[in-house]
């Protein structure tokens, strides 16, 4: 018996826009099944159907047959399905209710009314498997630990079918290994494990079956390696080679600690005018912190940061004028969008309406002009937030993961536009990305951060080495 | 991180990780098939399935019977699509709360609480109306947003209850009064609007949450702080008290208005589905 | 309820809560009498005896500053020693009443309440309020930063300021609550009468009863002394 079977499944959140269209999908006991695909292609939707979120908690139109553990999910209550399927959702940080690790892990068991001794054993087992100390305070955990905690909280409930939606989002290499080994052990014991993940290279060595989802259609992948290579269509760089310039920013010996955790241990970095600098590194290595220090959103604990953009900008304070010169695009676009329409969002920072129009043209936003920014998809929001920041013509542009949620075509357009604007304004671009596809097209020079330091510096060849060489 | 003995034991079987994925796969499978005794055994135990009344075997039959009766009474009204109807077929005043509602109201409570973090300190300052004035905006914007999403009788009470349980420890008088005033607000709402289907009902209740505690606060000040110079001004001339109250109501009306505008906009953006 | 204040072995949460109310009421009622001062001192020692030494010590500077301010203002305006002392007493009572709450890890309270069959939605709600208040605080900080990066952080332009703050924040609240409620439901939580167990229930011990009895006796005694 297959753990999960879907036959000709169609699903739409709103009428007639089918997110899933004719999906046939199976997952077996004793195997790890990977569901791969870009954001927005329907991965989460498919998983939500299996674990009963759809149609129980999120309404929509569902057609076709869905069988989970041999039972038709239709008509089953969420409470019943939660006894069959364990589900680890994205954004672990937003799911932690309790203040101590063991209580959080016990929460699901309490809901299933397990006897006290049983809960105790399960909490211990699940914490051990995820390498967590049960007595830790949840508030002090790192992002990776939080992800492992939420996973432990689900595993402790002991369902034979376990679903994990993008479980590696906050994990570094070690954390990934811990998690994936634990999942392998579960699969070895006859559990059915379904994982969705877009970072293929990280998970492929651990999984048994691979399914690809693309525009609402699912197909099984037979040759894993060929698939891995086919996914990495590289976007080529359209810009002229960089000719060098004067330094605009220097960091020397910059350190930063959060509590007891040392994030940066002494970064030395010079940024030159008009270059495109790419910052590479594993999750949790301090890339975002480094960006925040450069953007003056965070103060370094030690070391020296200097800017040579404009003397009037001073040394420390991030004043209004500073952010006119230095454009910052957040990792999460939701924080930066606040106007009632996309057009007004772009016009807010633009020097003139004509320029805003031009920017909207470049970013292909005219069709969205009258939409509310918060009503857009994540990929569209990101495009709008980049456009809105670019519209104020910053001399230095900081981009933190600008390409998440973009499909290939969107990605190509975005990279092109960023390149065009870079050539026209001769701005300095500093980018952090996990995405292999646009990395080379966003880079004149790359630095690799490891252990809170710059360990390697190079050109496009470093990007290649980082993404394909060592992994 | 502290190493756990259990984990050490468990890890023994998984050391072949770096020798390529094929070894990893096969070794994992072997170790699992083997007689290795590890913590995973606990996870394989069957979860005892319990009947609806099962619990922990703590209730006796009489209790269960009473509960059954209660549940029957509760399930009697017709519930369709999560909406409860009364015997006449109208939408009932008291609607059941879903997990989603409770979570949203709790988050709203957290937002109100964190933005009025100064309250426990200000609450001790015996100036009539000061705590209400300082927290007026936050305590009206967020509850109004909560009401606009969870349009059910009892929402104000739940937000107040969740916030005040924490307040009780910090400023006992404040906690008790906000609970009592929440009940009064719900009563006013039932009598005038019969629920929160209209935006104006959300506005009125959201606006009243803070000002409603003023009379209680007045009594409290009269009882305990009669010789406090801070309170004398209000005690000597009722007009000072009236003036402050009007200011508080104005601030809260502004807050509730903002709350309505924001939630309408968010709903238009498609974020606030019911 | 920061961790620094947490007592290792706090008294039964409901008793602690009752104690807070009692101290608050008795302290305010007897503020004008010298006996009231002795009563408060006694309560402080009582807390000390029951293992609250950490919060007892931490509260001293707070109480000193707090009562100092009120005593100072009272003295400046009334020039009466009695009124000043009463102000000191009142402030001290307020600080002492806060002690049991400050020293109580939130888990204990919710475990206590779920053990007493308080509806689970309420205990879950309390846990959420507690653990998400700091998280939302961080969200607000991030939004304030994002506002500055977009040049919308100035209070001089209130219309833009309120939009840039409240629209993303409200959207985040909706977003967070959606994620959280899904997570809670997929972990088997439901409202209503579903069976559940309590991991580590909090039990009432003889020590807790002694604590409460002592406190009640003291409070009754001081009120009798002062008013009869």
pLDDT tens for C107-164 read 788 888 888 888 888 889 988 998 898 899 999 999 999 998 988 877 788 888 888 9
* CA-based R_g, chain B, Å: 27
Among A206, A231, A256, residue at a domain's last position: A231
Is residue A430 in some structural domain? yes
Report, as an integer, the average pLDDT of A54-74.
86
Sign for the pseudo-dihedral over CA of A255, A261, A263, A268? positive
State the total domains in chain A: 2
- Give pLDDT, residue B24: 38
Q: Quick one: A119 and A260 in the same domain?
A: no
Among A179, A204, A231, residue at a domain's last position: A231
- How far apart CA A264 and CA A290 sit, in angstroms, is 8
Is residue B34 in some structural domain? no
Among A231, A261, A293, residue at a domain's last position: A231
| Residues B213 and B177: beta-carbon distance below 8 Å | yes
| Mean pLDDT score of chain A | 87
Report, as an integer, the average pLDDT of B157-168.
85
Q: Quick one: B163 and B263 in the same domain?
A: yes
Q: Is A265 exposed, middle or buried (0-12, 13-18, 19+ CB in 10 A)?
A: middle
Residue of B nearest to C184 (CA): B99
Q: Quick one: A267 and A402 in the same domain?
A: yes
Q: Quick one: A431 and A407 in the same domain?
A: yes
* Chain A contacts in chain C segment 169-228 (CB below 8 A): 171-172, 175-176, 179-190, 194-200
Tell me the pLDDT band of B183, cut-offs 50, 70 and 90: very high
B174 has pLDDT over 80: no
Contacts of A170 (CB under 8 A, 6+ apart): A92, A143, A144, A146, A147, A283, A284
- Give pLDDT, residue A201: 76
Is residue A240 in some structural domain? no
Residue B16 distance to chain A (closest CA, Å): 11
Q: Quick one: A227 and A251 in the same domain?
A: no
A380 has pLDDT over 80: yes
Q: Quick one: A252 and A170 in the same domain?
A: no
Position with higher pLDDT, A2 vs B250: B250
- How far apart CA A223 and CA A363 sit, in angstroms, is 37
Mutation site, A80, A90, A97, interface C, largest C CB count within 10 A: A97
Domain that holds residue B68: 64-96
Among B96, B117, B149, residue at a domain's last position: B96
- How far apart CA A189 and CA A160 sit, in angstroms, is 9
Q: Is A97 exposed, middle or buried (0-12, 13-18, 19+ CB in 10 A)?
A: buried
- How far apart CA A149 and CA A96 sit, in angstroms, is 8
Q: Which of A26-40, A353-367, B112-126 has the lowest mean pLDDT?
A: B112-126
Q: Quick one: A262 and A198 in the same domain?
A: no
Q: Quick one: B183 and B125 in the same domain?
A: yes
> In angstroms, how far is the first alpha carbon of chain C from the final one?
38
SS3 call for A451:
coil
| Residues B102 and C121: beta-carbon distance below 8 Å | yes
Q: Quick one: B154 and B170 in the same domain?
A: yes
Tell me the pLDDT band of B169, cut-offs 50, 70 and 90: low
- Give pLDDT, residue B17: 36
State the total domains in chain B: 2
Q: Quick one: B75 and B188 in the same domain?
A: no
Inter-chain CB proximity A208 and B25 less than 8 Å: yes
Tell me the pLDDT band of B124, cut-offs 50, 70 and 90: low
- How far apart CA A94 and CA C205 sit, in angstroms, is 36
Tell me the pLDDT band of A409, cut-offs 50, 70 and 90: confident
What single-letter DSSP state applies at residue A137? Answer: B
Tell me the pLDDT band of B155, cut-offs 50, 70 and 90: very high
Tell me the pLDDT band of B65, cut-offs 50, 70 and 90: low
Q: Quick one: B178 and B214 in the same domain?
A: yes
Among B96, B120, B153, residue at a domain's last position: B96
Tell me the pLDDT band of A29, cut-offs 50, 70 and 90: very high
Is residue A236 in some structural domain? no
Among B96, B112, B144, residue at a domain's last position: B96
Strands A326-329, A302-307: pairing kind: unpaired
Q: Which residues on adjacent β-strands are paired with residue A221?
A: A210
Tell me the pLDDT band of B228, cut-offs 50, 70 and 90: low
Q: Quick one: A82 and A181 in the same domain?
A: yes
Q: Quick one: A276 and A374 in the same domain?
A: yes
* Chain C contacts in chain A segment 325-344 (CB below 8 A): 327-328, 330, 334-340
Tell me the pLDDT band of B125, cut-offs 50, 70 and 90: low
A146 has pLDDT over 50: yes
- Give pLDDT, residue B27: 40
pLDDT tens readout for residues A309-358 = 877 777 667 678 888 889 999 888 999 999 999 999 999 989 899 999 99
Query: Is C151 in the A-facing interface, judged by CB distances under 8 Å?
Result: yes
- How far apart CA A16 and CA A22 sit, in angstroms, is 13
* Residues from chain B contacting residue C28 (CB–CB below 8 Å): 224
Residue of C nearest to A322 (CA): C149
Is residue A172 in some structural domain? yes
Q: Quick one: B260 and B125 in the same domain?
A: yes
Inter-chain CB proximity C171 and A103 less than 8 Å: no
Tell me the pLDDT band of B34, cut-offs 50, 70 and 90: very low
Q: Quick one: B192 and B78 in the same domain?
A: no
* Chain C contacts in chain A segment 26-55 (CB below 8 A): 51-53
- Give pLDDT, residue C168: 94
Q: Is C161 exposed, middle or buried (0-12, 13-18, 19+ CB in 10 A)?
A: middle
B226 has pLDDT over 60: no
- Give pLDDT, residue B43: 63
B270 Rama class: left (phi>0) / alpha (psi -120 to 50) / beta: left
Q: Quick one: A274 and A420 in the same domain?
A: yes
* Residues from chain A contacting residue C145 (CB–CB below 8 Å): 297, 335
Q: Where are the alpha helices (DSSP H) in chain C?
A: 13-29, 34-49, 53-78, 81-102, 106-115, 120-149, 158-186, 206-227
Q: Quick one: B201 and B248 in the same domain?
A: yes
Is residue A238 in some structural domain? no
Report, as an integer, the average pLDDT of A368-372.
91
Q: Quick one: A135 and A261 in the same domain?
A: no
Report, as an integer, the average pLDDT of C189-211.
86
Tell me the pLDDT band of B76, cut-offs 50, 70 and 90: low
Query: Is A317 in the C-facing interface, judged by CB distances under 8 Å?
Result: no
Kindly report the CATH number assigned to the domain that includes residue A406. 3.40.50.300
Q: Which residues on adjacent β-strands are paired with residue A86?
A: A162
Sign for the pseudo-dihedral over CA of A60, A65, A67, A71? positive
- With a pLDDT cut of 90, the percent of chain C lying above it is 27
| Residues B47 and A112: beta-carbon distance below 8 Å | yes
Which range scores top for mean pLDDT: A251-260, B89-98, B232-241, C173-182? C173-182
Q: Which of A424-438, B23-37, B197-211 has the lowest mean pLDDT?
A: B23-37
Prediction ipTM score = 0.88
| Residues A365 and A391: beta-carbon distance below 8 Å | no
Domain that holds residue A353: 247-469
- Give pLDDT, residue B51: 43
B1 has pLDDT over 60: no
Secondary structure (DSSP) of B3-30 = --HHHHHHHGGGGGGGSHHHHHHHHHHH
- How far apart CA A84 and CA A79 sit, in angstroms, is 9
B139 has pLDDT over 80: yes
Q: Where are the alpha helices (DSSP H) in A66-172?
A: 78-84, 101-111, 116-129, 143-155
- How far apart CA B15 and CA A471 sit, in angstroms, is 19
- How far apart CA B201 and CA C3 sit, in angstroms, is 40
Report, as an integer, the average pLDDT of A280-304.
88
Question: What stretch of H or E contains A62?
Answer: strand A61-68
* CA-based R_g, chain C, Å: 23
- Give pLDDT, residue B44: 63
pLDDT tens readout for residues A179-218 = 999 999 999 999 999 999 877 777 888 999 999 888 888 9
Strand segments, DSSP code E, in A226-318 are 247-258, 261-272, 276-280, 302-307
Report, as an integer, the average pLDDT of A399-414.
82
- How far apart CA B203 and CA C47 sit, in angstroms, is 45
| Residues B264 and B165: beta-carbon distance below 8 Å | no
| Residues A89 and A95: beta-carbon distance below 8 Å | yes
- Give pLDDT, residue B28: 41
Rounded to 5°, the CA angle A368-A370-A376 comes to 50
Strands A396-400, B78-80: pairing kind: unpaired
Cα distances (Å, whole numbers) of residue A193 to A26, A71, A240: 12, 18, 47
pLDDT tens readout for residues C21-73 = 888 888 888 888 888 889 999 999 999 888 888 888 888 888 888 888 878 87
- How far apart CA B98 and CA B151 sit, in angstroms, is 12
Is residue A380 in some structural domain? yes
- Give pLDDT, residue B77: 55
* Residues from chain A contacting residue C198 (CB–CB below 8 Å): 110, 116
Inter-chain CB proximity A349 and C150 less than 8 Å: yes
> In angstroms, how far is the first alpha carbon of chain B from the final one?
43
Tell me the pLDDT band of B61, cut-offs 50, 70 and 90: very low
Tell me the pLDDT band of A157, cut-offs 50, 70 and 90: very high
Q: Quick one: B169 and B238 in the same domain?
A: yes
Which range scores top for mean pLDDT: B28-37, C19-28, C170-179? C170-179
Tell me the pLDDT band of B40, cut-offs 50, 70 and 90: low
- Give pLDDT, residue B9: 37
Tell me the pLDDT band of A388, cut-offs 50, 70 and 90: very high
- Give pLDDT, residue B236: 61
Neighbours of B244 (CB within 10 A): 20
Position with higher pLDDT, A346 vs B165: A346
Query: Is C129 in the B-facing interface, judged by CB distances under 8 Å?
Result: yes
Tell me the pLDDT band of A403, cut-offs 50, 70 and 90: confident
Q: Quick one: A66 and A124 in the same domain?
A: yes
Q: Quick one: B248 and B198 in the same domain?
A: yes
Q: What is the domain partition of chain C in residue ranges?
A: 3-108+205-227, 120-186
């Amino acid at each position: 018996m297959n753990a999960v079977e879907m036959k000709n499944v169609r699903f739409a959140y709103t009428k007639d826009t089918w997110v899933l269209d004719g999906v046939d999908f199976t997952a077996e006991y004793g195997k790890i099944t990977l569901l791969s695909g870009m954001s927005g292609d329907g991965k989460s939707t498919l998983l939500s159907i299996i674990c009963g979120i759809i149609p129980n908690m999120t309404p929509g139109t569902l057609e076709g047959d869905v069988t989970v553990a041999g039972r038709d999910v239709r008509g089953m209550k969420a409470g019943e399905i939660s006894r069959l399927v364990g589900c680890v959702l994205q954004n672990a940080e937003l799911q932690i209710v309790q203040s101590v690790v063991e209580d959080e892990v016990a929460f699901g068991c309490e809901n299933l009314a397990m006897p006290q001794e049983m809960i105790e054993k399960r909490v211990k087992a699940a914490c051990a498997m995820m390498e967590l100390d049960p007595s830790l305070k949840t508030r002090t955990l790192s992002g990776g630990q939080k992800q492992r905690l939420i996973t432990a909280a689900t595993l402790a409930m002991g369902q034979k079918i376990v679903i994990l939606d993008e479980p590696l989002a906050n994990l570094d290499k070690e954390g990934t290994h811990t998690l994936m080994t634990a999942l392998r052990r579960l699969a070895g014991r006859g559990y059915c494990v379904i994982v969705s993940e877009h970072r293929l290279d990280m998970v492929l060595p651990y999984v048994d079956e691979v399914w690809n989802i693309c525009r609402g259609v699912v197909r099984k992948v037979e040759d894993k390696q060929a698939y891995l290579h086919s996914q990495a269509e590289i976007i080529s760089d359209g810009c002229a080679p960089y000719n060098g310039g004067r330094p605009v920013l220097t960091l020397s010996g910059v350190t930063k600690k959060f509590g007891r955790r040392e994030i940066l241990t002494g970064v030395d970095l010079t940024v030159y005018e008009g270059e495109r600098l790419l910052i590479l590194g594993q999750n949790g290595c301090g890339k975002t912190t480094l960006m925040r220090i450069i953007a003056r959103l965070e103060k370094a604990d030690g070391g020296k940061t200097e800017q040579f953009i404009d003397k009037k900008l001073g040394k420390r304070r991030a004043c209004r004028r500073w952010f006119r010169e230095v454009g910052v695009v957040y990792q999460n676009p939701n924080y930066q969008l606040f106007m009632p329409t996309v057009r007004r969002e772009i016009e807010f920072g633009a020097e003139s309406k004509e320029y805003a129009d031009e920017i909207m043209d470049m970013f292909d936003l005219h069709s969205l002009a009258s939409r509310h920014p918060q009503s857009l998809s994540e990929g569209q929001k990101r495009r709008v937030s980049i456009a809105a920041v670019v519209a104020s013509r910053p001399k230095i542009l900081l981009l933190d993961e600008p390409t998440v949620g973009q499909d290939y075509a969107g990605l190509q357009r975005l990279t092109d536009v960023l390149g065009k604007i870079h050539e026209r304004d001769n701005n300095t671009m500093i980018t952090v990305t996990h995405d292999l596809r646009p990395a080379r097209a966003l880079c004149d020079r790359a630095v690799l951060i490891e252990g809170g330091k710059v360990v390697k510096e190079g050109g496009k060849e470093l990007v290649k080495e980082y993404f394909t060489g060592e992994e | 991180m502290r190493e756990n003995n259990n984990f050490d034991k468990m890890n023994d079987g998984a050391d072949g990780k770096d020798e390529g994925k094929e070894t990893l796969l096969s070794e994992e499978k072997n170790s699992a098939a083997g007689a290795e005794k590890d913590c995973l055994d606990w996870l394989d135990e069957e979860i005892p399935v319990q009947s609806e009344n099962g619990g922990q075997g703590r209730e006796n039959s009489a209790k269960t019977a009473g509960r059954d009766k209660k549940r029957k009474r509760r399930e009697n009204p017709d519930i369709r699509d999560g909406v409860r109807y009364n015997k006449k077929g109208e939408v009932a005043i008291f609607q059941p709360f879903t997990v989603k509602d409770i979570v949203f109201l709790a988050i709203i409570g957290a937002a109100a609480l964190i933005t009025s973090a100064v309250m426990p300190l200000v609450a001790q300052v015996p100036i009539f109306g000061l705590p209400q004035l300082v927290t007026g905006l936050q305590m009206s914007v967020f509850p109004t947003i909560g009401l606009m999403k969870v349009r059910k009788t009892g929402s104000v009470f739940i937000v107040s209850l969740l916030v005040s349980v924490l307040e009780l420890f910090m400023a006992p008088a404040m906690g008790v009064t906000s609970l009592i005033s929440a009940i009064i607000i719900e009563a006013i709402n039932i009598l005038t609007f019969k629920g929160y289907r209209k935006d104006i009902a959300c506005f009125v209740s959201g606006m009243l949450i803070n000002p409603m505690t003023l009379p209680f606060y007045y009594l409290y000040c009269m009882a305990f702080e009669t010789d406090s110079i801070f309170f004398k001004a209000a005690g000597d001339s009722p007009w000072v008290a009236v003036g402050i109250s009007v200011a508080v109501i104005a601030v809260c009306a502004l807050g509730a208005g903002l709350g309505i505008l924001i939630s309408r906009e968010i709903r238009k953006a498609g974020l606030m589905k019911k | 309820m920061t961790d620094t204040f947490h007592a290792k072995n706090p008294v039964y949460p409901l008793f602690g809560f009752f104690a807070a109310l009692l101290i608050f009421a008795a302290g305010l009622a007897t503020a004008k009498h010298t006996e009231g001062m002795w009563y408060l001192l006694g309560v402080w020692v009582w807390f000390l005896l029951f293992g609250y030494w950490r919060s007892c010590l931490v509260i001293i500077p707070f109480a000193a500053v707090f009562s100092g301010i009120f005593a100072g203002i009272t003295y400046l305006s009334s020039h009466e020693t009695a009124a000043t002392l009463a102000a000191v007493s009142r402030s001290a009572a307020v600080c002492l009443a806060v002690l049991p709450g400050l020293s109580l890890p939130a888990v204990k309270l919710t475990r206590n309440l779920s053990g007493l069959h308080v509806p689970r939605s309420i205990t879950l709600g309390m846990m959420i309020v507690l653990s998400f208040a700091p998280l939302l605080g961080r969200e607000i900080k991030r939004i304030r930063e994002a506002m500055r990066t977009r040049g919308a952080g100035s209070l001089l332009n209130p219309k833009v300021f309120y939009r840039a703050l409240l629209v993303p924040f409200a959207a985040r609240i909706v977003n967070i609550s959606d994620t959280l409620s899904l997570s809670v439901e997929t972990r088997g939580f439901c409202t209503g009468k579903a069976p559940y167990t309590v991991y580590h229930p909090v039990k009432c011990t003889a020590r807790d009863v002694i604590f409460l009895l002592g406190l009640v006796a003291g409070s009754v005694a001081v009120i009798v002394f002062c008013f009869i």
